[in-house]
Structure 1
Amino acid sequence: MFDILLSGFATLFVILDPLGLVPLFLALTPGASEAERTRIAFRATVIAFVILALFALTGIVVLETLGITLGAFRVAGGLFLFWIGFELVFERRRERHEKSANRAVHESETADVAAFPLAIPLMAGPGAISAVILLAGNLEGIAGKSALLALIFSALLANFAFLAVAHRLDRVLGATGRAVISRLLGVLLAALAVQFVADGVMALFHLQSDA
């Protein structure tokens, strides 16, 4: 279980991409004090945790209800996560997230940036949701689900820590530092995604063999 939790934490942490969120978070909170930014980051983290925890606990049931095997979802989810890794390496994901952030800043009706777009979809987006459902398939039972919730909490806590010091972190790393680290994390996520696809193909192969 430790290996699953370790790779799961790495996958979720890379998908959350806290370094990529830092400049977007600052753009979403212009003129806010450090204390105000911390409150916004905390609220967004709580919302994201509730969403991801809900999918972690019910995602497999939804798949079974729809008649989707876990192997098939592993292949589809792995391909989706590979695309996110591709976006990180070539900075496509940052451009897409910047569009969401800019749209929220310019929409006067958006009253709470913690909920949108910070929690949804920048933190608890399709990639993170797919990842927790995939992990839920490998972590069964009460102990497994408890460990998965702890994993989600840990990844979001680490993400919150980055956002809490966003202003100082942005000055230290700069655009170049963020780009280099994001690309390295993208390669890591792509490798993990390939493993998800391989596991899914093997599961589908065994399912067909048993049929």
Structure 2
Amino acid sequence: MEFTPAITDVLKFAVTLVSIINPLGAIPVFLGFVKNHRKINVKKLANHTATAVTVTILISLIVGQYVLNFFGISIASFTIAGGFLLTTTAFSMISGQQSNSKINSEEMESIDFERELGIIPLAIPLLSGPGAISTSIIHAKNFTTPAHWIAGILMILIVGFCIKFILMYAEKIGEKLGQIGLNVMTRIMGLILLSMSIEMIAYGIKEILPILKGDF
């Protein structure tokens, strides 16, 4: 198996995924939930959240294209739609706001802190929301060899572990970075995500309009 092309594709997928998930940006929200419910075991909550995110991304990566095929949606069309979705999320990150495509105020007010907090809303939709799911489905089209899938699954597991670590030590990380540091990191992730979303939109348009692939 040739691993070099696979590693390149998977690293690009990983960077996009980490940017859209933005676990550092989720720290304030995570700490807000914990403070509102003092009896929560932070380590268990972090573990449940990371596990739910990992499972969600894995399912999206593996079966997402089959779902699109079932509904007769082309990868190119979905790529453009996903690119626009990531663009709105990126602008929200750059402006320092929480994207409503992840979680809105009404959803936050309806949360039952006693049940499934790690799954809903922390994992879905706060971390692995529509943007992360669509990113996984779109990048899966590049996974054409066993090396791609092995590296991709391992990368998702690594991302899940990083999410668990960050949330487990969210309070300490938040104190070290401070609100300004968290805002800066969020904006940097937003810029990276915006650049990648533009690439996705351009790629999708070229796939739908092959004449644009020509050299000028």
Is TM (by shorter chain) over 0.5?
Answer: yes
**Correspondence 1:64 to 2:69:** yes
TM-score (norm 1): 0.87
**What is the distance in 2 between the residues matched to 1:136 and 1:184?**
25
Q: Which runs of 5+ in 1 are unaligned?
A: none
**Counterpart of 1:92 in 2: which secondary structure?**
coil
The 5 Å alignment of 1:174-193 reads 174-193=178-197
**What is the distance in 2 between the residues matched to 1:21 and 1:46?**
16
Higher helix share: 1
Deviation at 1:91, TM superposition (A): 1.9
Q: Identity across aligned pairs (percent)?
A: 25
Number of aligned residue pairs: give it: 205
Match of 2:132 among 128, 135, 147: 128
**What is the distance in 2 between the residues matched to 1:60 and 1:94?**
25
1:27/1:101 contact within 8 Å kept: no
1:86/1:190 contact within 8 Å kept: yes
**What is the distance in 2 between the residues matched to 1:139 and 1:63?**
16
**What is the distance in 2 between the residues matched to 1:100 and 1:185?**
26
**What is the distance in 2 between the residues matched to 1:176 and 1:98?**
23
The 5 Å alignment of 1:52-201 reads 52-93=57-98, 97=103, 99=105, 102-103=108-109, 107=112, 110-201=114-205
TM-score (norm 2): 0.85
Deviation at 1:41, TM superposition (A): 0.6
Q: Which runs of 5+ in 2 are unaligned?
A: 1-5
Deviation at 1:32, TM superposition (A): 4.7
Paired AA for residue 198 in structure 1: A
**What is the distance in 2 between the residues matched to 1:132 and 1:177?**
28
**What is the distance in 2 between the residues matched to 1:9 and 1:157?**
13
**What is the distance in 1 between the residues matched to 2:25 and 2:143?**
29
Q: 1:90 to 1:176 in 2, by over 3 A?
A: same
Match of 1:17 in 2: 22
